[in-house]
Amino acid sequence: MGEGHLEKRKPGKRRVRKFQYLMPVRVLVVDDSSVMRKIVERSLRQAGLDLSQVFEAGNGAETLSVLQTNQTDLILCDINIR
């Protein structure tokens, strides 16, 4: 198959690209919805990220508390927290 060949896939099947070359990631997910925090974590895992630690915070005070005692590589934060 030559360069530029498009792979035909069955409808409804998505190819998930795994990021195996990345080092394990410590992530902090900040959202006032606990359900949304779990959705974000699941999405990151499904995308192939190697999550070594996942911290959660539901508000700014919890976020600061987590950051005072833990090192993180990535922070994902909702910008509209109630």
Could you tell me the pTM of the whole model?
A: 0.74
Q: What is the CATH number of domain 25-77?
A: 3.40.50.2300
SS3 breakdown of the chain: % helix, strand, coil, rounded to 5? 30, 20, 50
Work out the average pLDDT over 14-39.
84
User: Percent of the chain scored above 90 by pLDDT?
Assistant: 67
Question: For the chain, what are the domain ranges?
Answer: 25-77
Report pLDDT for 59: 95
Whole-angstrom CA distances from 6 to 3, 9, 31, 41 are 9, 9, 39, 31
The tokens 């090192």 sit on which residue? 71
